[in-house]
C-alpha cells in the first residue's frame, strides 16, 4: 500500500509518505510551521517526500489529510491541497479527524504496547476553549466515545468520561501548559503532550480505508466544530444595512407614535 498524509490543523505541519517494500512498510516524513504558514510549504514538502519514496501521485492508494478540528486556515489548506492532488491523480481522499490522529500519536509514543485503552484528546482551540474528543482502542481499531466538540477548560473534568477499569488511559494534547491552572484534571491519569501527526494518520489509514471512510475528492470536507470565528464581509454588510434601516425607521415621522 502507498499512502500520503499531511496535517496542518495546528502550529506544526506534518507530512508523511509510506509504502511497502520487501514485505516491510517504510516511512518518509517531514515537519515545519503549520496553520496559516503551511500554504507556502505544503505542496513542495509533499512532492519532495514523494520523490524520496519514489512514489508517483497516481500510484497512491489514498491521500489522507487532517480534517480537523483545528486552525480554520490550516484545515482549508489541507483539504484544498488534498482535493487538488487527488483530482489530478484520480485517487481517493481519506479525511482523518485530527483528534483521532492525536490520540494515535499519543498511544504510539507513550504506550506503544498497550493492547487496549481510552484517550481523551485535547487541542487548544484558542478563545478560551478546547477541542475535545474521547476514543477507545480495542487492540485493533479505535471507536469514538465522545465526538469532537468545544469545551471550556474548567468544564473538561466534568465533561470527560470516567476511564474503564482496564487498559491504558490518558489525557493527551497541547493544552496542559496553556490552561494548567484551569483544567482540574484527575491526577490518577497521565497527561501526554501530543499533536496530530502524519505518521499517526498513516497508522490509522488501513483500518479507516477498510471501513469505507475514503471519499472522492469532491466530497472531502474539513471538520470545523466551531462554526464561526469572525463574521464574513457579506454578514457585516448585511448587519450594517439592517442597522441603517432601523435608524432610518426610528428617525421617520410617526415611528414613535
CA dihedral of residues 72, 75, 77, 82 (deg, nearest 10) = -160
How far, rounded to the nearest angstrom, does the alpha carbon of residue 170 sit from its chain's CA centroid? 19
pTM for the model stands at: 0.86
Tell me, yes or no, whether 173 lies in a domain: yes
Q: Is residue 151 part of a domain?
A: yes
Q: How many CB atoms lie within 10 A of CB 83?
A: 19
CATH number at residue 99: 3.30.420.40
236 occurs within a structural domain = no
Which domain range does residue 121 map to? 3-219
Q: How far is CA 79 from the centre of its chain?
A: 11
Q: What is the pLDDT along the chain (257 residues), one digit of tens a residue?
A: 999 999 999 999 999 999 988 889 999 999 988 777 788 899 999 999 999 999 999 999 999 999 999 999 999 999 999 999 999 999 999 999 999 999 999 999 999 998 899 999 999 999 999 999 999 999 889 999 999 999 999 999 999 998 888 899 999 999 999 998 899 888 778 999 999 999 999 999 999 999 999 999 999 999 999 875 544 445 445 545 655 665 565 555 555 44
CA distance 68 to 131: 10
* Cis amide leading into 55 (omega within 30): no
Our count of domains for the chain comes to 1
Amino acid at each position: 500500500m502507498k499512502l500520503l498524509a499531511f496535517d496542518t490543523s495546528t502550529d506544526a505541519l506534518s507530512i508523511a509518505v509510506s509504502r511497502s517494500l520487501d514485505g516491510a512498510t517504510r516511512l518518509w516524513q517531514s515537519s515545519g510551521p503549520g496553520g496559516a504558514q503551511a500554504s507556502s510549504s505544503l505542496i513542495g514538502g509533499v512532492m519532495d517526500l514523494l520523490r524520496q519514496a519514489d512514489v508517483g501521485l497516481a500510484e497512491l492508494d489514498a491521500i489522507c489529510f487532517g480534517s480537523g478540528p483545528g486552525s480554520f486556515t490550516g484545515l482549508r489548506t489541507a483539504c484544498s491541497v488534498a482535493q487538488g492532488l487527488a483530482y489530478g491523480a484520480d485517487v481517493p481522499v481519506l479525511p482523518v479527524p485530527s483528534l483521532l490522529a492525536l490520540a494515535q500519536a499519543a498511544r504510539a509514543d507513550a504506550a506503544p504496547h498497550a493492547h487496549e485503552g481510552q484517550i481523551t484528546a485535547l487541542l487548544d482551540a484558542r478563545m478560551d476553549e478546547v477541542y475535545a474528543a474521547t476514543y477507545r482502542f480495542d487492540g485493533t481499531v479505535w471507536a469514538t466515545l465522545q465526538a469532537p466538540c468545544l469545551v471550556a477548560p474548567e468544564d473538561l473534568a466534568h465533561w470527560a468520561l470516567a476511564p474503564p477499569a482496564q487498559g491504558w488511559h490518558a489525557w493527551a494534547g497541547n493544552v496542559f501548559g496553556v490552561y494548567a491552572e484551569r483544567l482540574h484534571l484527575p491526577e490518577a491519569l497521565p497527561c501526554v503532550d501530543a499533536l496530530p501527526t502524519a505518521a499517526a494518520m498513516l497508522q490509522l489509514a488501513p483500518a479507516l480505508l477498510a471501513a469505507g471512510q475514503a471519499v472522492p475528492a469532491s466530497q472531502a470536507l474539513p471538520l470545523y466544530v466551531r462554526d464561526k470565528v469572525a463574521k464574513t464581509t457579506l454578514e457585516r454588510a448585511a448587519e450594517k444595512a439592517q442597522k441603517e434601516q432601523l435608524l432610518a425607521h426610528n428617525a421617520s415621522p410617526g415611528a414613535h407614535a
